[in-house]
Amino acid sequence: MRLQRGFTLIELAIVLVIVTLLIGGLAAPLSAQIQARRIAETKKTLEEARDALIGYAMTHKTISGNAPYLPCPDSNGDGIEEARTSGKCPSQVGYLPWVTLGAGAQDAWGNRLLYATTTDVSNDNPGIISTVSPNSSWNQVCSTRTCTTGNIASNIPAVIVSMGPNGWGALNVNGNILAAPSGADELENQDGDTIFVSRSPTKPGDPNGEFDDLVTWISYAVLSARVCPSPGC
């Protein structure tokens, strides 16, 4: 009678090791593909938010001067812009008022988007008019937190920020604020002032600190051209 030979424990162990290595080798590229897809999705969400802000300005006029204006930031993440008091927004930095705008509620990692504007174009007076000139009190987009005048984009009326894949400091859709970022440039994007950093991502331990925020903005030239077509507001 001929005996059938099976696998020994050593052979099974070798097979399992090989399978594990193959799966591990595939997992890293798959994870990178998923992350790249989420980044692309969030960039699209930021672009749509930018268009929604322009659309809002095209359909809202100040009471005093019948001039277009941008929405106030949302202070608590409910997606509704904060009400003006005596024609003024309570704050110029907060969350994107996605309900008011009819825009995306979150980035691809389930976090709310930050939004910053400036008093000249969000308050009831003066609004977006030909006599308003961008100036250094408006938002600045820099490649480093130490700049005072934007070396990427200066005197910007609106900036939108996603806290990126790590989400540090973000308000998530469950209403929880995640742990504060360790990177100084990420902290700069959340400190409530007019300086915002946009640069290549870096990992934890990098000399420049961890950074993976995604930042977009609207220049005043683009905004005024869209909402105040010739001959202007």
pLDDT digits (tens, 9 = 90+) for 64-118: 778 999 999 999 999 999 999 988 999 999 999 999 999 999 999 999 999 999 9
Whether 233 is in a domain gets the answer no
Q: What is the mean pLDDT of residues 145-165?
A: 94
* Rounded CA separation 230/233 (Å): 8
Query: What does the pLDDT read at residue 5?
Result: 59
pLDDT of residue 199 exceeding 80, the answer is yes
Whether 46 is in a domain gets the answer yes
Domain of 220, in residue numbers: 9-227
Whether 186 is in a domain gets the answer yes
Whether 2 is in a domain gets the answer no
Query: What does the pLDDT read at residue 24?
Result: 65
Query: What does the pLDDT read at residue 26?
Result: 60
Whether 3 is in a domain gets the answer no
φ and ψ of 14, to 5 deg: -65, -45
The C-alpha torsion from 106 through 199 and 208 to 111, rounded to 10°, is 0
Query: What does the pLDDT read at residue 29?
Result: 72
